[in-house]
């Protein structure tokens, strides 16, 4: 029985300032050389590399998954205060992947609104606009800097479960992964 190929669903490029160093063409070529059939580009708070990524993937017969590691405000995106379990967070990480063309358009809407309406240290969205623009997206609970992780790390398991239930309601059970 053949094993399933690995696909990295959370990868930063040089468009994730101070976090990613790989150039998009190098990411595509290396991923393909390692036998990956696809890769998700999920830069921090932006889609700057999406067009380059799509073009490079097409030129190399490789499947591009457009995504973003969004910054989610602990309250409203327009609030300019901290929040979260420790009270200091200005934003939490959340990984969003486009599943369809509508998903790509929703990522563009979310990214635009994060800069135009939610910018506070970083381009932020909130749960209100996530509900409005969730169609065609897959949601991953995020890394150690995610709200889910923050709740778990602070012993708030019941709140973490409620948060997961909310994400399942918004994105659909089949489109939310921890």
Instruction: Render pLDDT for 61-110 as a digit per residue (tens, 0 to 9).
Output: 999 999 999 999 999 999 987 665 545 568 999 999 999 999 999 999 99
pTM of the model: 0.93
> How far is residue 123 CA from its own chain's centroid?
13
| Res 115: pLDDT | 96
Mean pLDDT of 136-163: 95
**Lowest mean pLDDT segment, chosen from 87-91, 122-126, 159-163:** 87-91
Is residue 172 predicted with pLDDT exceeding 50? yes
User: Beta strand pairing status for 137-140 and 176-177?
Assistant: parallel
Sign of CA dihedral 29, 34, 39, 42: negative
Contacts with 165 (C-beta within 8 Å, 6 or more apart), sequence order? none
Is residue 1 predicted with pLDDT exceeding 50? no
Q: Which of 95, 165, 178 is nearest to 137 (CA)?
A: 95
| Res 88: pLDDT | 53
pLDDT band at 3 (very low <50, low <70, confident <90, very high): confident
């Amino acid at each position: 029985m053949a094993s399933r190929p690995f696909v990295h669903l959370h990868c930063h490029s040089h468009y994730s300032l101070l976090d990613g160093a790989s150039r998009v063409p190098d990411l595509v070529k290396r991923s393909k050389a390692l036998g990956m059939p696809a890769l998700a580009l999920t830069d921090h708070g932006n889609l700057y590399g999406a067009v380059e990524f799509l073009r490079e993937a097409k030129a190399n017969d490789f499947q591009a998954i457009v995504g973003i590691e969004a910054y989610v405000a602990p309250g409203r995106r327009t609030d300019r205060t901290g929040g979260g379990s420790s009270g200091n967070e200005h934003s939490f990480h959340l990984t969003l992947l486009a599943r369809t063309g509508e998903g790509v358009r929703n990522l563009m809407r979310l990214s635009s609104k994060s800069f135009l309406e939610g910018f506070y240290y970083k381009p932020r969205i909130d749960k209100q606009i996530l509900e409005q623009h969730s169609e065609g997206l897959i949601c991953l609970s995020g890394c150690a800097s995610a709200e889910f992780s923050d709740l778990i790390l602070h012993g708030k398991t019941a709140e973490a479960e409620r948060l997961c239930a909310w994400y399942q309601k918004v994105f659909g059970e089949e489109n939310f992964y921890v």
